[in-house]
Each structure stands twice: as structure tokens, then as C-alpha cells.
């Protein structure tokens, strides 16, 4: 499996076909592996392979989307989350916290949303699909103006 593209590249390739264009994607060490490291050591994107991505590695994602709506909509959130879950299942990898920022094609921030690591871990166990989706959609924050 070491011939697979790094997770950020795989995510970018798959989302592009869905009209979501990644402008920045970083994997970050899980909390339990970050202790005692400076913030520069937190990024594990460089040289990451499928085998090297530790379980619980977080994703900090920024993407552009062509959309008529001024805020983050449930379709784009669902597309990103399903893609992350598909990659995780294929690689037998457990994602950590996903932090996403949605941009217009002009670079203006449309909004932010996230998924907690515990929600990914609990999906299908203590959280059904509906409760998981509701939790994620409740994190959407619209941003007014540019940042």
C-alpha cells in the first residue's frame, strides 16, 4: 500500500471531480503524539505515505467551490466528509479532527466547519449516520466579509 498517494493528494484528486478544489491541505499529528513538539513539527504532510499517516492524524483543509449560495451548504460538507471516510476505509486509517474552510473562487471565506475525532471514531458505534451528520452540520459558521 506504500505506492498510494499521500492522503492530501488523494483527497484533492477525488474532490476535484466533485467541484471542490483544495487550496491547502495538511495532516497534523494526533494530540497524543504532539505532546512536547513545537508547532512546526506538528505537520506530517511532507513525505507522508499511506502507511505513514498515523491513526488520529487531523486534517486542516481549505477549499474553493463554485456555488450560488453565500454560505457553506450541506452538499459540500457531505461530499468532503464522505470522501475522507472512503479514504479512511480504504487505508484502514482513523482520521482525527477535520477542520475545513470553504472559499469562493475569488478567495473570500464562505464559512468554516469541522468534525471531531470522537465523531469519526463513534460513527456506526454510538453515533448513527443521522446523528453524525447533524453534529457536523451544526458546526457550520458563516463568515461575513473577507478575512
Domain span at residue 70 reads 7-142
Helical axes 74-91 vs 7-16, angle rounded to 10°: 140
Q: Is 2 part of a structural domain of the chain?
A: no
The model's pLDDT over 49-86, given as tens digits with 9 standing for 90+, comes to: 444 689 999 999 999 998 888 899 999 999 999 999 99
Note whether residue 1 is domain-resident.
Answer: no
Q: What is the DSSP letter of 11?
A: H
Q: How many domains does the chain have?
A: 1
Which residue is it, cell 453565500? 70
CA distance 11 to 83: 7
Residue 15 falls within a domain, yes or no?
A: yes
| Range 3-32 average pLDDT | 91
- 71 belongs to a structural domain: yes
Q: Is residue 147 part of a domain?
A: no
- Give the model confidence (pLDDT) of 79-126 as tens digits: 999 999 999 999 999 999 999 999 999 999 999 999 999 999 999 999
Amino acid at each position: 500500500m506504500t505506492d498510494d498517494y499521500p492522503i492530501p493528494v488523494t483527497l484533492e484528486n477525488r474532490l476535484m471531480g466533485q467541484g471542490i478544489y483544495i487550496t491547502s491541505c495538511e495532516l497534523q499529528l494526533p494530540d497524543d503524539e504532539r505532546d512536547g513538539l513545537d508547532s512546526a513539527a506538528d505537520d506530517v504532510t511532507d513525505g507522508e505515505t499511506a502507511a505513514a499517516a498515523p491513526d488520529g492524524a487531523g486534517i486542516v483543509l481549505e477549499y474553493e467551490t463554485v456555488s450560488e449560495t453565500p454560505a457553506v451548504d450541506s452538499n459540500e460538507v457531505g461530499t468532503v466528509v464522505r470522501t475522507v471516510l472512503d479514504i479512511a476505509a480504504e487505508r484502514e486509517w482513523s482520521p482525527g479532527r477535520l477542520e475545513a474552510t470553504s472559499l469562493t473562487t475569488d478567495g473570500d471565506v464562505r464559512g468554516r466547519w469541522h468534525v471531531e475525532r470522537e465523531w469519526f471514531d463513534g460513527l456506526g458505534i454510538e453515533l448513527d449516520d443521522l446523528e453524525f451528520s447533524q453534529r457536523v452540520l451544526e458546526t457550520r459558521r458563516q463568515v461575513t466579509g473577507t478575512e
